[in-house]
Amino acid sequence: MAVLEVEPLIWIAYHFVVIPLILVDLIAGIKRGHAITAKEAARWVVLWIAVGIAFGVFISLRFGSDVAALYFAAYTLEYTLSVDNLFVFAIIFMYFAVPPRAQPVVLYVGIISAIVMRATFIGVGLWLLQTFYWMEFIFGAVLLYSGVRLWRGGAEKAELKDNPIVRLAKKVLPLTDQYHGSKFVVKGSKLVFTPLILVLLAIESSDIMFAFDSVPAALAITNNFFLAYTSNVSAVVGLRSLYFLISITMFKFKYIGKGLSFILAFLGAKFFLSAVHIEIPIALSLAVVFGALAVAVGASILRLRLESSTAGSETH
């Protein structure tokens, strides 16, 4: 792909749309006098997906369908990877017994910091790839390892007892024993942190690990910062609503993890081949990414239907 020249106005316009929506979502969550319902969460999920798709359509009109295809491939992969990561968040909330009303604030802070973190990781990752050719072997190995780990179900494990950041925080921070709404700090005789700070640190450290999977995956699809960044941000900003929708409905595609593991392994192999000057055509890469996801979703839906019909026959 030729060098993509992105005008500053496009960068400004993208953030001019995304940032106000994040603020509206935050204010709505703070002012909501009840726990978010599945219907409310679904509306926000649809809105955020619509924003991501609309931006892809804009890219197609401005830069062409080939560039848009790269954006949509990276966006779809990042969004799907994020779905699996949300179950780790659920484990963290259960482990720390976080009150439902406090969960949205933690997710907001976590998602905003994740955006900054992903931008930094993408920038550093591109610099490493452009500066050191052997980094393609490193990134390839990371993706292959992530694919194997995901195939074995490792993405849904959260070893909170052994989390070094959480253990260090417990030793050095003055902590209260109880939650105080959605506050991270409360003032008594002195300023002390609530357990919510430990939850945030656990989520942030988990997101660092997620970035080691998602950022190399995005860079394996496109080495353009603009496409890698916007696809990541478009996928991450809607995770709060998606988390609550999933936690309410308890719905999960059974074979998504297997499909993602195959994709990560393929992208890892793509890095290795690129390092020895063997380039996989973009069309083939896109076909593998979208094809593997389609097969995983289709197999999951088929399994759900079979389980539903089996359960129905057992009741009669």
DSSP track, 280-291: PPHHHHHHHHHH
pLDDT given at position 163: 66
**Average pLDDT, stretch 11-38?**
77
Q: How confident is the model at residue 34 (pLDDT cuts 50, 70, 90)?
A: low
Query: Distance (Å, rounded) from C-alpha 116 to C-alpha 105?
Result: 17
User: Tokens in use for 184?
Assistant: 């991270």
Nearest to 274 by CA among 122, 77, 140, 141: 140
At 176 the three-state DSSP class reads coil
- Is the pLDDT at 2 greater than 60? The verdict is no
Q: Which amino acid is at 21?
A: L
pLDDT given at position 147: 76
Q: Which residues pair with 315 in a beta bridge?
A: none
Query: Distance (Å, rounded) from C-alpha 207 to C-alpha 64?
Result: 32
**Mean pLDDT over the full length of the chain:** 78
Cβ–Cβ < 8 Å for 206, 85 = yes
- Is the pLDDT at 267 greater than 80? The verdict is no
Q: How confident is the model at residue 248 (pLDDT cuts 50, 70, 90)?
A: low
**What would the pLDDT profile of 56-94 be if each residue is shown by its tens digit?**
999 999 999 989 999 998 898 888 777 666 767 777 777
**What would the pLDDT profile of 115-144 be if each residue is shown by its tens digit?**
888 888 888 888 888 788 788 888 778 778
Q: How confident is the model at residue 230 (pLDDT cuts 50, 70, 90)?
A: very high
Cβ–Cβ < 8 Å for 83, 251 = no
Q: Give the residue extent of every domain in the chain.
A: 11-309
Q: How confident is the model at residue 211 (pLDDT cuts 50, 70, 90)?
A: confident
